Structure 1
Amino acid sequence: MLLRERETAEGTLVSVCDADCLGETYEDGPVTLTVSEEFYGGDDAVEATAEEVVAGLHRAQVANIVGTEAVGVAVEAGLVDEETVLEFEETRHAQLLWL
């Protein structure tokens, strides 16, 4: 999985994706999801274990998670409710917001 953390005016933004999702675009009816190198990759992105992903999500104020493995890690850790996960063709997407 690829993990990227960056500071914004609103706090820490974390993006996580399965490595094989990077550069792909997924559709679900009229909705599309593009897993761009600019947002999920780049020089700041690192390959991460499940434990590192969970730690990164705990540091986030906002997170975007794409991929069957990445979303599964977030669900298994109790950070994302399975019922809120979106299905896009052969992948999954979830968002996390700590209030």
Structure 2
Amino acid sequence: MYLKIHRSGENVIVAVCDKDLIGKTLKEGNLSVTISEEFYKGDLVSEEELRNTLLDAGNVNIFGEKSVSCAIDCGAVDKDCVRFIDGVAHAQVFRI
């Protein structure tokens, strides 16, 4: 799984995706999402590293079955909040 942390001032966004999704474009109806290298391709991390990051993260954008499952397993994402875009699991976390 790829993990990339974006910082802009005090704002932090964590981007996570399954390794095989980099560069893919998902389309469903009028929605089109590209899982770009620029936004998502950071460090390859283990499930343990991902869990530790997700539990401390405020804003997270996650794509892929493995990544989303890891987020559910550690309690960062509620399974009922997972959406599928073009058959790919997607979840977002916003903590205030």
Q: Give the Cα separation in 1 of the matches to 2:36 and 2:90.
A: 14
1:14-53 paired onto structure 2 within 5 Å: 14-41=14-41, 45-53=42-50
TM-fit CA distance, 1:94: 0.6
Runs ≥4 residues deviating over 3 A? none
- Root mean square deviation of aligned Cα: 1.3
Q: Give the Cα separation in 2 of the matches to 1:80 and 1:61.
A: 12
Q: What is the aligned partner in structure 1 of residue 64 from structure 2?
A: 67
Q: What is the aligned partner in structure 2 of residue 58 from structure 1?
A: 55
| 1:28–1:89 contact (8 Å) kept in structure 2 | yes
The gaps in structure 1 that reach 5 residues or longer are: none
Q: What is the aligned partner in structure 2 of residue 89 from structure 1?
A: 86
The gaps in structure 2 that reach 5 residues or longer are: none
| 2:55–2:74 contact (8 Å) kept in structure 1 | no
TM-score, length basis structure 2: 0.91
TM-fit CA distance, 1:8: 2.0
TM-fit CA distance, 1:59: 2.8
| Identity among equivalent pairs (%) | 34
TM-fit CA distance, 1:58: 2.2
Q: What is the identity, as a one-letter code, of the residue corresponding to 1:49?
A: S
TM-fit CA distance, 1:90: 3.0
